[in-house]
């Protein structure tokens, strides 16, 4: 029977020295992406003009505390409350995981907080019985799914807490422009895209292709800054991406 030789202390020490730095690096990356920040790529135009297709957004994961959705693969028990929980403010742009699609990250703007009454009438947004101020702000270029651009009206909307942000709105008679009153349940948020006529958001129930109300537990983080941006839809291939970099969007704050 062959003799089993146990590794010596010097062998173990050499092995540790060999794997120490890679392990520390992996641990740091896991901690950083779980607890501090993580980049997210924008694949659609539902948040135009604030975010464009091809933006790479850094999200602060500590902003609202932590839940199982802060962990890789949403490991951990479900809970109605987050560790170090902080409720977002109206106007925050957040990354979250819709309950209907647990493997998908979405990004929208927080419009309604728990208890709020939200409604669309003739294309205008109402919160708690008051119509939000909407000021014309010229036009913007909206990118279509085929890479082409359309010129659409842009407006500045003011939320009840004084936060202002830009939206795109080119009609007032779509199926999301006249709705019933949505009463945001306890522990949930009402999300909307800034591209109001091109966003299946909390105005649309899950069974109709929307996302419904979003539990606070499902928040991932607060979008803070655009790390980089490339107009890949206009590029002829990966080799052409450098020519389509949107340098002016690099390190731009998300507001």
- In percent, the amount of the chain with pLDDT more than 70 equals 84
Tell me the three state secondary structure of residue 126: strand
Q: Regarding the domain delimited by 13-118+182-253, which CATH topology (the fold level of the hierarchy) does it fall under?
A: Umud Fragment, subunit A (2.10.109)
Tell me the three state secondary structure of residue 84: coil
Cα–Cα separations (whole angstroms), residue 72 to 30, 75, 182: 9, 6, 32
Residue 42 pLDDT > 70: yes
State residue 5's pLDDT score. Answer: 55
Residue 113 pLDDT > 60: yes
Q: What is the mean pLDDT of residues 113-130?
A: 98
Tell me the three state secondary structure of residue 25: helix
Q: Which one has a higher pLDDT value, 136 or 35?
A: 136
How do residues 144-186 score in pLDDT, each as one tens digit?
Answer: 988 899 999 999 999 999 999 999 999 999 889 999 999 999 9
Q: Choose among 47, 74, 117, 116: nearest CA to 219.
A: 74
Whole-angstrom Cα distance, residue 66 to residue 82? Answer: 5
Assess contact for 220 and 97: CB atoms under 8 A.
yes
Token readout for 229 is 């941006």
Range 90-117 burial, b when 16+ CB lie within 10 A, else e: bbbbbbbbbeeeeeebbbbbbbbbeebe
Please identify every residue annotated as catalytic: 46, 108
Tell me the three state secondary structure of residue 234: helix
Token readout for 12 is 């173990």
How do residues 226-247 score in pLDDT, each as one tens digit?
Answer: 999 999 898 888 888 888 999 9
* Cβ-proximal residues to 101 (8 Å cutoff; 6+ apart), any chain: none
Whole-angstrom Cα distance, residue 57 to residue 38? Answer: 8
Q: What is the mean pLDDT of residues 4-33?
A: 47
Residue 130 pLDDT > 60: yes
State residue 17's pLDDT score. Answer: 52
* Single pTM value for the model: 0.84
Q: Choose among 111, 109, 162: nearest CA to 133.
A: 162
State residue 9's pLDDT score. Answer: 60
State residue 33's pLDDT score. Answer: 45
The percent of the chain in helix, strand and coil, each rounded to the nearest 5, is: 20, 35, 45
Cβ neighbours of 66 (radius 10 Å)? 18
How do residues 176-190 score in pLDDT, each as one tens digit?
Answer: 999 999 999 999 999
| Average pLDDT along the chain | 87
């Amino acid at each position: 029977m062959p003799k089993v030789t146990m590794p010596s202390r010097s062998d173990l020490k050499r092995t540790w020295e060999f794997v120490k730095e890679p392990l520390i690096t992996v641990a740091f990356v896991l901690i950083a992406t779980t607890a501090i920040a993580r980049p997210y790529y924008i694949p659609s135009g539902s948040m135009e003009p604030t975010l464009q297709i091809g933006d790479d957004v850094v999200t602060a994961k500590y902003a609202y505390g932590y839940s199982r959705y802060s962990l890789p693969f949403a490991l951990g028990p479900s809970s109605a409350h987050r560790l170090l929980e902080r409720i977002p403010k109206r106007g925050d742009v957040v990354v979250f995981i819709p309950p209907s699609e647990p493997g998908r990250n979405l990004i929208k703007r927080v419009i309604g907080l728990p208890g709020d009454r939200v409604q669309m009438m003739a294309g205008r947004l109402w919160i708690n019985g008051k119509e939000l101020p909407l000021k014309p702000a010229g036009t913007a270029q909206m990118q279509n799914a085929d890479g082409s651009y359309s010129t659409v009206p842009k407006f500045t909307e003011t939320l009840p807490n004084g936060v202002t942000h830009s939206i795109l709105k080119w009609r007032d008679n779509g199926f999301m422009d006249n709705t019933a009153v949505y009463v945001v349940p306890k522990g949930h948020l009402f999300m909307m895209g800034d591209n109001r006529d091109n966003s299946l958001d909390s105005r649309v129930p899950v069974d109709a292709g929307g996302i419904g109300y979003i539990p606070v537990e499902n928040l991932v983080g607060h979008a803070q800054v655009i790390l980089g941006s490339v107009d890949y839809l206009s590029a002829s291939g990966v080799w052409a991406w450098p020519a389509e970099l949107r340098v002016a969007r690099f390190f731009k704050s998300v507001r």
